[in-house]
Every structure is written in structure tokens, then in C-alpha cells.
Amino acid sequence: MRLTYTAYNEDKIIPLYSGVAVGSIKDRLSNIDFDKVVIITDSNADNLWGKTLLDELKGIKKEVFVIKPGESSKSFNQYQSLCSDILNKEITKKTVIIAFGGGVVGNIAGFVAGTLFRGIRFVHIPTTIMSQADSTTGGKQAINTMHGKNTIGMFYEPEFILIDYSFLKTLPEREVRSGIAECIKHALCQDEKLLRKLEKGKEYVSFQEIIQRTIYLKLRTIKRDRKEINEGKVLVYGHTIGHAVEILSRGTLNHGEAVSIGMCCAATLSNRLGLLSFENKKRHYRVLRKWNLPTEIPQHIKVEEIIDRLHYDKKVKDSDIEMILLRDVGKVYKKKGRVGLPINEDVLKKSLKLCYKKDE
């Protein structure tokens, strides 16, 4: 089974479980008045599936731009280069961008689409678990800077998102684990039933079922709080510390691995503050280790470096650092109805010191 769903219009979300594959892209585009398509992809997706997509787009005017895989491509230089190269191809306001790849491709292609001519239309064809289950949903487009991940960005919606599970057959095992980390995040914050399935491990789960449930949970959340002002902050559980650790790892940790560590740090802090039981803290570690995800901060990353990096983070308020914490599995902690708790630096440092690898 394949899945296609449209982007939501204002606060309306319309999921369509229609059993279509990439072959439907031409039919879907036929509903849009356009002059040509611009495909933005990376070399991994292009090498594996590029010809398949081009074959499906026969008869349509198209340009293809291939970027390097990985977070380094979510840069201002890459953004500027893409914009310049695309404009040289005489695009118009009627041109449609196709983001074909994982989360990095989706983010930068969406950001390019949102800024060219003050916004042209684009569509997502995500090819990884991370992008299918999480990153393409919600309309968040961004690039990284020296100050951190996603520090320049916007909310900009695609025309539609087309998911084909056959792409997952060629994913490296590490990319599978990374994507599952985001599914585990949604389970820990919103759905214990999903968590129980994930706790069984890879041999006992259906990726299609897990991805569909994760998409449902995220769509339900952004319908209530599209811009993560309050309720939607549940979606960044584990990301505060995770983003800092990812950057400081200098490429040795990918996004899902860093978020896995970040969730364990958040669970440890939640437990130390008396919000989350010790058993539910340990449950974080068990399910993440079941999927061979890292759960501890590498020794070469220092607490002081993490704290310094957090001061660039969008969630820092005054001298305190806002953390998204849990009070139970499936239940985010709220104080007077507000999600997110400002944490003093010293309190956070003491908690982080408990989250390091002991075997190095």
C-alpha cells in the first residue's frame, strides 16, 4: 500500500489513503496549472530512483538539480547556488519544484520554493523513513547556519506529499534507525500503544503501519498548533539537546541518532525533577537500544559546549533554557497549561553529566 496526502489548507488536513505509487505523480500534477517542473534531489536518491521519476515525467518540461547528501547541503551557500542555477533556467511563477529525497532535500527545496518569486508551488516525494514519517509534514522549511540547525526558515506548505514505501527497500540500516527515532519520539510523547509496538523491535513491526500512525499523530498535533506555539512543542521533544549534540558531533551522529540521545537526556531531567517515573525513564533507553540507537552523549562532547550551543537555540528564554519534558509515557508536562519548562543552566548541567557514555 502507498500513501498520498495533500497539504492542509489553513487548519484543514485531508489524508488520502489511496493506494497510489510514484506512477501517480503525473496525474497529481495534472491538477496544477504549471509550465515546467524543477526537481531538487541528492546523489543518493538520484542514483537509486532518479531514472524512475524521470520516466514517470516523460512529456513534461523539467530541470534536475542534484546536491550532495547530508546536513552540509542545508547551508546558505547551497541555497544561494540553487536559486541562482534555477533562475538561470528561466523559471516562472507557474513552475513547480519537486523535492525528491530525504529530510535535507525536503527542507532546502521547500525553502527555495518559499522564497523564489516570494513563493512558487512545490511538492514532496520523500524517500526515507525520516522524511516520510516526520520531516515533510508540517510545512517547516529551513537551512542551517553556524549558529545551529534550522536557524533560518519559514512555514511554507507543499501542494501535496506523495509517499511510496518501495523507496525504503534501498535504505541503509543506519537510515532506517534514524527515521525510527522520530517515530519513537511521537510514541513516547503521544501514543503508548504505538510505543508498545516499537518496543517489539524491527522483526515484529510493519514500517507502513508505523509511518501511517506517526503521520496521523503529527497531523493531529499541527492541526491544533501549526506553528508550535504551545501544544505543538511536543514535536520537538528530544530536539533541544539533540540538535546541540548533532552539531557538536561534527558529522559522526546523524539527526535521528542525536535526537535519540536528546530524548534520553530529557527523560533523565524529567525523572530528576520528579515528573517522570524511573521505570518510564528506563523505558526510553530500552526502546531506543532495541533499535540500536545511541542513548548517551559521546565523551568528546563537553557539557559546557552543549550549554553554549543551546544559547543559539530558538527555545532559550532569558538565562534559562526551555525543555520539553514528560510526566508519563504519552503525556507531555504542562505548567499552567503551557508546554515547556524553563530550566536553570546549573540544573541542566548536573542532569546532563549523568547522560554520558561510561565505557570509553
CA 85 to chain CA centroid, nearest Å? 26
Residue type (1 letter), 188: L
Q: What is the Cβ-side half-sphere exposure of residue 36, based on CA atoms within 13 angstroms?
A: 12
SS3 331: strand
Split the chain (360 residues) into runs of 10 and give each run's mean pLDDT: 45 36 77 95 97 94 97 96 97 97 97 98 95 92 91 94 89 96 98 97 92 92 90 96 95 96 98 98 98 97 95 65 96 95 96 84
Q: What distance in Å separates the CA atoms of residue 172 and residue 195, rounded to the nearest whole number? A: 23
Rounded-to-integer distance, Cα 77 and Cα 176, Å? 29
Residue 149 in 3-state DSSP? strand
Q: Please report the pLDDT score of residue 359 as a whole number.
A: 56
173-352 has which CATH code? 1.20.1090.10
Contact 297, 356 (CB under 8 A): yes
How much is the CA Rg of the chain, to the nearest whole Å?
A: 20
Question: What pLDDT is stored for residue 20 in this prediction?
Answer: 40
* Fold for the domain defined by 3-170: Rossmann fold (3.40.50)
Q: Phi and psi for 27 in degrees, rounded to 5?
A: -65, -40
Short-list 262, 270, 250, 327, CA closest to 293? 262
Distance CA 355, CA 360 (A): 13
Q: How many CB atoms lie within 10 A of CB 85?
A: 12
Please calculate the CA angle 38-39-42 and round it to the nearest 5 degrees. 145
Separation of alpha carbons 141 and 115, rounded Å: 10
Spatial contact of 285 and 292, defined as CB atoms under 8 Å apart: no
Q: Hey, is 304 helix, strand or coil?
A: helix
Domain extents in the chain: 3-170, 173-352
pTM (predicted TM-score): 0.90
Q: Say if CB 25 and CB 53 are below 8 A apart.
A: yes
Distance between CA atoms of 30 and 59, rounded to whole angstroms?
Answer: 12
| pLDDT for the residue 354 | 97
pLDDT for position 15: 38
Our CA angle for 73, 91, 54, nearest 5°, is 65
- CA distance linking residue 167 with residue 128, whole number of Å: 7
Least Cα distance to 237 among 298, 309, 323, 315 occurs for 323
DSSP one-letter string for 6-25: EPPBTTB--EE-----GGGH
CB under 8 Å to 193, separation ≥6 — which residues? Answer: none
Residue 228: CB atoms within 10 A of its CB come to: 20
